[in-house]
Amino acid sequence: MRLSDRKVLENFQVSLELTPEKSRLLVVGLGTTGLSLVRFLNHYNFQITVIDNRDYPPMKAQLLDDFPDVPLITGKFNDHDFKGVSHLIVSPGLSLDQSVIKVACTQGAKIISDIDLFALSTETPIVAITGSNGKSTVTTMLGEMAEASATKTAIGGNLGTAALNLLDVNVALYVLELSSFQLERTSRLNATAATVLNISEDHLDRHKTLENYIFEKTKIFNGVGVMILNKDDEAVCNMRRHERKHYYFSLKKLTDFHIKTRIEGDYFAYKNCELMACLDFPLVGHHNQANVLAALALGHAVNLDLHKMCDALKNMKGLAHRMQTVANINEVEWVNDSKATNVGACMAALEGYQHNVILLAGGDAKGANMTELKTSVQQHVKALIVMGKDAPLLEATLEEIVTVYHVETMIDAVEKANQIAMAKDTVLLSPACASLDQYKNYQHRGDAFIAAVRALEFT
């Protein structure tokens, strides 16, 4: 349940030294999360100022309409605007390494997050999900499984709705997708069940090293809740805390949640109990089977009915921009996996294909090591088309094992793929890179791919 205002304020004072009377809060970044913070904090009469280094942040008009009395500072950051602040709530999209933030912290400002505020505002069970790949799918999957179990559920966080906008007295379960950037500034999350699905190099431009990235991901396990661990991932297994209750999931090993093989086919299984034939699950790929096992483990940890969860799985639809079939033209399949913003996601996408993929890749590699792609490309890719900021890096890394074409735009990439594709080939947009060098986000990139492919159908 959502706690009373009195209890919420008590929690804030005890855990965060945060009070309406004495605290001065600076909300840094006016996106969806920033606006949710203003709405939430305004309800408790906190002293809030909002600052954004853009002249026209996306939620500026709505802030001015809904909260005209809340001060807003836009444009380049300066130290003066951060002085005298007791608490900083910094957008996940902004690095904590910025000098103005570091100076404010040396002067006594405490960094907190919207996830901290959320966790201290409810006693309703929270499931928290992170990982390099698959977190949006598992979050969506678990939400649908919970609803099938007649459990009123709200999902959000890094996916969809900002966490603070989810708070509702009628909700019986919260399912939060959390990024490493959100976890980096979160200290009070005590999820009922939590998982790190997997680890591969990602966001090294912000975290600098893989060890730092893993450290931030591990914060999802702060607290005393049930740990859901991928037994096939060494980095995740090393996060286990022996005093804590835990469930493992694995595609390769016999463990709590696993794949059971019988003569007639494979089954999703819990211990020795067969739950559902893998063929009854509509999404393809081993990575999606791992997602199913993780979702089942998380649901079981919060007492959802296993059989009702399986009923929901049978009707699952894939997420947009995640292994989304766009068209089949002259026996060539065109697949949009724009959400594959790191190497691990691209490798997972390539699994299951024969050596018949024309791969479209490139964008901002975020400091990742592209050499991890070599084996997957060698096994599954017949031609590589690269574009974007780090196209030269991909080309230099992979040109010895596959024919590489360098193009400038998505339209060029689709046209080149159409020229070289043959019947039974798959043209796969799975960039292994972020999109912000050329697009607003991965959805915008995927939409550009879809539009270019659709144009082929009319030529």
What CATH code is carried by the domain that includes residue 290? 3.40.1190.10
pLDDT at 406 exceeding the cut of 70? yes
pLDDT at 1 exceeding the cut of 70? no
245 belongs to the catalytic site = no
pLDDT at residue 93, as a whole number: 86
Same-domain pairing of 201 and 339: no
Residue 360 lies in a domain: yes
416 belongs to the catalytic site = no
pLDDT at residue 124, as a whole number: 97
Same-domain pairing of 330 and 294: no
* DSSP structure class, residue 319: P
* DSSP structure class, residue 218: H
DSSP-derived pairing of the beta strands 265-270 and 273-277: antiparallel
Q: Which of 203, 231, 339, 416 is catalytic?
A: 203
198 belongs to the catalytic site = no
pLDDT at 383 exceeding the cut of 70? yes
Residues of the chain with pLDDT > 90, as a percent, come to: 85
Length of the chain: 459
pLDDT at residue 459, as a whole number: 64
Number of domains in the chain: 3
Amino acid identity of residue 111, one-letter, is I
Same-domain pairing of 200 and 298: yes
pLDDT at 74 exceeding the cut of 90? yes
Same-domain pairing of 144 and 99: no
Residue 318 lies in a domain: no
Distance CA 272, CA 258 (A): 9
- Spatial neighbors of 172 by CB under 8 A, at least 6 apart, are 124, 125, 151, 152, 153
Same-domain pairing of 328 and 259: no
Distance CA 91, CA 185 (A): 10
Same-domain pairing of 187 and 66: no
- Spatial neighbors of 235 by CB under 8 A, at least 6 apart, are 199, 214
Of 112, 135, 158, the position where a domain reaches its end is 112
Q: pLDDT tens digits, residue range 309-356?
A: 999 999 887 777 888 888 999 999 999 999 999 898 899 889 878 889
Mean pLDDT of 183-208: 90
pLDDT at residue 284, as a whole number: 78
Same-domain pairing of 304 and 417: no
- What's phi and psi for 126, nearest 5 deg? -120, 130
Mean pLDDT of 58-80: 95
Q: Which of 11, 87, 133, 158 is catalytic?
A: 158
> What domain range includes position 386?
324-456
Amino acid identity of residue 322, one-letter, is R
Distance CA 214, CA 236 (A): 9
Same-domain pairing of 155 and 238: yes
Residue 319 lies in a domain: no
State the pTM of this model.
Answer: 0.85
Mean pLDDT of 358-373: 92
Q: Which of 11, 87, 133, 135 is catalytic?
A: 135
Mean pLDDT of 446-458: 91
Give the range among 132-136, 141-145, 283-287, 346-350 with minimum mean pLDDT.
Answer: 283-287
Of 313, 334, 352, the position where a domain reaches its end is 313
User: Does 201 or 29 have the greater pLDDT score?
Assistant: 29
